[in-house]
Structure 1
Amino acid sequence: MMPRPLLLGFLAIVVLAVLWISNPAVAFAAGLVIALWQKQVDLPHISTVSRYALQGGIVLLGFGIQASQLWTLTTQFAWIVTLYIGVVIILGLLGARLLRMAATEGQLITGGTAICGGTAVVTLAPIIGAKPAQTGAVLGIIFLLNAFALLSFPTIGQALDLNQTQFGLWAALAIHDTASVVATAQIYGDEAA
């Protein structure tokens, strides 16, 4: 195991490099490399720090949106989002039944797909009595899909010749949580995010 001061110095260099590059896919890859390289690292309170950093980043990103832009986007796309959520819930529950999935997993996957990914899964799990193993498996699926989207959607969007608004809407509907949507859209362009 690497000595703690050396590890912290290495992490600081990686963080500065990622901030300089400012690409969410690079940040994801760097985090993955560090996690795989140093499985034994004990960083106290890392989950609390990362949760607040993520929430703070989303709030700071929100400060960059003007109220008039937000109102325009809300009035323009609210019906699409509402329709999407309804269709995904219906198709998700029917699909789970057709695949003969356990009701709990089907409900968790459907809720996580239709509404905000991991947050929806963690919120829904105690309500429907999901076991930790079920919740963990569904979270793993959703986070893998988010990673796939982060790495592939910008290329697919360019191949489909989507403009910034089209890509932003597609990412918002197809990706399972806010942080991944913002990161993927940021790769595509500032207006998409």
Structure 2
Amino acid sequence: MNEQGPARPVRAHARRNREKLVAAALAEFTRTGKDVPLDSIARAAGVGIGTLYRHFPTRDALVLAAYEHEVDQVCAEAKDLLAALPPDRALREFMGRLASLLVTKQHMSEALRSGGTEGAYSKVYATIDTLFTAGVAAGTLRSDMETADVARAMGGLLRLDAAGDWKGQAERQITLLMDGLRTGAPARAAGHEPER
């Protein structure tokens, strides 16, 4: 038997444990907040606390992994949005989903501020770029802007008041941004008004 044979199941098992820990952490963070005891997360995942610490040596590492998982989900959904909707509406829907993620995960923000979110930001930026570029190509979004402009303008979504009417705040901000991105777009100039 070669030495690599037994290693594969161990890696697959370790990957499954990591996935279970991230899923349990997401559920517990959402239900209780980021200060939930780590042994509760390990128990919910069906693993020991040592397994948790092997994968995530600090609470912040676990919070970051859970956040990145959520970002991956929202960004992956963008492909389906683009297949089902005109690009400008897909971008608007993505912004709404991102706003929801940012608000519902605000309790993780302390750990996220400590760094390490570059990968998540890069995924969000790439998704914005894909949606925005498709909108420009379809003529439903103006072409004199750049993806970086859109990403900076979306920065206000980070400041939504989770304790207040964050859905209303997000809707108004997204409407304002989309109106600006659609103004002067070739399809609009030709009299094809976009749906809101």
* Fold in common (TM above 0.5): no
Larger gyration radius, structure 1 or structure 2: 2
**Whose helix proportion is higher, 1 or 2?**
1
TM-score (norm 2): 0.28
